[in-house]
Structure 1
Amino acid sequence: MTSSRATGYEPLLTLKPVARDLWIVDGPAIGFYHLPFSTRATVVRLRDGGLWVHSPVRLSDPLRAEIAALGPVRHLVAPNWIHYAFVADWQAAFPEATSWAAPGVIARAADHDMKLRFDHELTGDAPPAWDGEIDQTVVKGSKVHHEAVFFHRASRTLILTDLIENFEPRKLPWWMRPLVRLAGISAPRGHMPPDMRATFDKALLGASVRQMLDWGPERVILAHGACYESGGSAELRRAFGFALS
């Protein structure tokens, strides 16, 4: 369920340029564990002019028009088992798009009585549709949390979803601020949420983090909270130091 309260990332549901052929869209807060989580989509324009949309947020008519003006939507990406709530709306608006799901998405949607169509499951290798432009891997080590992560080569941008949460206290309701501090997911030193971390094998997670580091990210886009505009590799080493030791 989305919330009408301010998120601190206004204006919402509009394209915000990040780098050449790369935009984010901040969306309304969505309830998760009875907490208001801000939402964020990432849009990449591929070399063929088609659009790749990661973790779609709520779709409004003005946003739909902005997106259509950029180019045809070719790919809709549900990057983990939580981030799929608005995919159906985007599928209805852009029926020619191919839909991609991380492992676990289809089963969880079915458990919540959501009948979603996905054309392909994401794997550890980029498909031909964006190979050479966006690298990807599915992070290993958890039987619960399966997240596909992506690296936009041209802008050196790593695109994560929930592996790091970096909530800015001043943008949260007063009662939520101590919770994020206690969980260690408060900006600027965001981390993996502790309940998620408990599901991971440290060695396997570390191998996936090293793969991300090998990409050499400068910027890190997150779904929740402040992104890291510079020093991306250093932030990865800090946030996942427990898995790299």
Structure 2
Amino acid sequence: MQEAFWEKTSKAAHPERWYPYWWALPLAPYGGKATAMSVAHPNEVWCFDQLQGLLDVLVNVRMTVVRLNGGGLWVHNPIAPTAELMSMLAPIVDEHGPVKHIVVGSAAIEHKIYSGPFSKKFPSADVWIPPKNWTFPVDVPIDAYVPYYPRGSPKTLPEDSASGVGSVPWGDQIEHSVIEVGGSSLRNFKDPWFVDTAFYLKKTKTLLITDVVMKVNPDPVPVATINPEPLLVRGMEGPDKMLPNTREARSMGWGKTILFGLLFQPASVDVKVSPASVNKDLLDNFTWDERWKASFQNLVDKDIFVPPILHVLAFPRRRDEVKRWAEGVAAWDFNTIIPSHLDGPIDAGPKEFAAAIDAALTTDPRAFFGEDIEPLLAVDKLSRDLKSLEEPRPLTDATPIKYFVKPAPAPAEEASAVEVA
């Protein structure tokens, strides 16, 4: 199955999916990047997904394209500009105008890395990145690492669109707010190691986010099923227990992919690696017990949630700051959330968003994620012992996050009284 997958992702098999600069961020499936497109809001918002990961643990990364009033497009978190992606985007550009702004909402390298190559396809577009945008764990300025931006170095997003400090050309249509969390000894605790930005699309009442919240469904995202072999390999219950290409097998593979991707070392899997067959072992020498099903279902059952790494390592360091930011975001009137990973768009609003952040600020990770969280808790303890991350800080105000509630409709006029009169 692995051989079949790599054959399908070769340049010879699908030249339209080939991305020649994959070596700048050498994540699987390397140069062969299939794209799946979906419509979030007809004639207004479109999503484009590609895969990235290690070995056969591949999850989606999402670009969102928004139509601007007056013509032109606004792009959130660009992905690899393959010929296939450009052909999907071409009809939207033809109908609504060129890309005017390419906006990176995160400091994470997997979202910044494509901003330069993507901007080469739209040389008149401005590129925007968030402030304090150093790359963890080594600070490499993005315009030095990706040394081609047609309009010079990227512009910097203001911290938010409400304070009046700085402005963006789309501010009347899209509001935003930047979150910065968790100092690290690598930067002398000066800069945050996690930076994300929430964008509120007023017309469609949509919230765009990169990593802060996500949703998991039992079935894999569509882009993961274009070439499903990695799902079938990951779905195997033990070495060489091959699976047929069925919906059930793909769901099994997706569930185990999610557990690895979010929790790193699930308690339900035993991995045995021998020096003589390390390559094979790293692909399929995994033996799972039945606990993985309950662990996966625990994630599926949640409306939306903060990823475990943020729940454990980031948000506890700056609880008050996270809460203030979340209350600002939850004050927006949205009914759809589009994150940059896993499922989306998600039918969720301020209430669900506030509940997810509240859980990350106040809930014991063990109670929320179960035994699979232990490896991350061990990393948290080590970081505190080594003083490599800031110490966690308690909330000064433990009341739930306030969120937007639609006002009650105005009382109807006394129609019956009018009729009598």
TM-score scaled by length of structure 2: 0.51
**From 166, 176, 182, the counterpart of 2:257:** 176
Aligned amino acid, residue 155 of structure 1: T
Task: Check if 1:87 corresponds to 2:115.
Answer: yes
Aligned amino acid, residue 92 of structure 1: K
**From 130, 135, 138, the counterpart of 2:175:** 135
Deviations 1:190-224 (CA, angstroms, capped at 9, x unpaired):
42222223223111101111111111211101111
Q: Which residue of 2 aligns with 1:68?
A: 93
Flag the structure with larger Rg.
2
Kindly state the Cα deviation for residue 109 of structure 1 after the two structures are TM-superposed.
Answer: 4.8
Task: Check if 1:223 corresponds to 2:245.
Answer: no
Contact 1:75 1:98 in 2 (8 A): yes
**From 137, 141, 164, the counterpart of 1:110:** 141
Q: Which residue of 2 aligns with 1:196?
A: 310
Aligned amino acid, residue 141 of structure 2: A
Kindly state the Cα deviation for residue 166 of structure 1 after the two structures are TM-superposed.
Answer: 2.3
Q: Which residue of 1 aligns with 2:164?
A: none
Aligned amino acid, residue 93 of structure 2: A
1:200-219 aligned within 5 A? 200=315, 201-219=318-336
Aligned amino acid, residue 168 of structure 1: N
Q: Alignment partner of 2:343: what SS? A: coil
Task: Check if 1:148 corresponds to 2:197.
Answer: yes
**From 89, 104, 115, the counterpart of 1:78:** 104
Task: Check if 1:186 corresponds to 2:299.
Answer: yes
Considering fraction of residues, name the structure with more strand: 1
Structure 2: gaps of 5 or more residues? 1-26, 162-166, 183-191, 221-230, 235-252, 267-294, 362-398, 401-421
- Paired residues, what number? 240
How many angstroms apart in 2 are the aligned matches of 1:122 and 1:31?
A: 28
Aligned amino acid, residue 305 of structure 2: H
Quote the RMSD (CA, aligned, Å).
3.1
How many angstroms apart in 2 are the aligned matches of 1:116 and 1:188?
A: 44
Aligned amino acid, residue 66 of structure 1: P
1:10-29 aligned within 5 A? 12-14=35-37, 16-29=38-51
Q: Alignment partner of 2:141: what SS? A: helix
Deviations 1:25-44 (CA, angstroms, capped at 9, x unpaired):
33221126984220111111
Aligned amino acid, residue 194 of structure 1: P
Q: 1:136 to 1:116 in 2, by over 3 A?
A: farther
Contact 2:28 2:55 in 1 (8 A): no
What percent identity do the matched residue pairs reach?
A: 20
Deviations 1:33-59 (CA, angstroms, capped at 9, x unpaired):
984220111111111201100011222
Q: Alignment partner of 2:347: what SS? A: coil
TM-score scaled by length of structure 1: 0.83
Kindly state the Cα deviation for residue 63 of structure 1 after the two structures are TM-superposed.
Answer: 2.8
**From 349, 360, 376, the counterpart of 1:232:** 349
Kindly state the Cα deviation for residue 106 of structure 1 after the two structures are TM-superposed.
Answer: 5.9
Q: Which residue of 2 aligns with 1:123?
A: 158
Aligned amino acid, residue 64 of structure 2: T
Q: Which residue of 2 aligns with 1:166?
A: 215
Q: Alignment partner of 2:309: what SS? A: helix
Aligned amino acid, residue 59 of structure 1: P
How many angstroms apart in 1 are the aligned matches of 2:56 and 2:178?
A: 28
Q: Alignment partner of 1:186: what SS? A: helix
Aligned amino acid, residue 147 of structure 1: D
How many angstroms apart in 2 are the aligned matches of 1:238 and 1:63?
A: 36
How many angstroms apart in 1 are the aligned matches of 2:141 and 2:181?
A: 24
Q: 1:64 to 1:178 in 2, by over 3 A?
A: closer
Kindly state the Cα deviation for residue 186 of structure 1 after the two structures are TM-superposed.
Answer: 3.3
How many angstroms apart in 2 are the aligned matches of 1:136 and 1:28?
A: 25
Considering fraction of residues, name the structure with more helix: 2
Contact 1:218 1:231 in 2 (8 A): yes
How many angstroms apart in 2 are the aligned matches of 1:32 and 1:130?
A: 37
Aligned amino acid, residue 146 of structure 2: M
How many angstroms apart in 2 are the aligned matches of 1:164 and 1:32?
A: 22
Aligned amino acid, residue 35 of structure 2: L
Aligned amino acid, residue 130 of structure 1: W
Q: 1:221 to 1:155 in 2, by over 3 A?
A: same
Structure 1: gaps of 5 or more residues? none
How many angstroms apart in 2 are the aligned matches of 1:116 and 1:87?
A: 9
How many angstroms apart in 2 are the aligned matches of 1:199 and 1:116?
A: 32
Contact 1:109 1:115 in 2 (8 A): no
Task: Check if 1:96 corresponds to 2:124.
Answer: yes
How many angstroms apart in 2 are the aligned matches of 1:177 and 1:199?
A: 20
How many angstroms apart in 2 are the aligned matches of 1:50 and 1:158?
A: 20
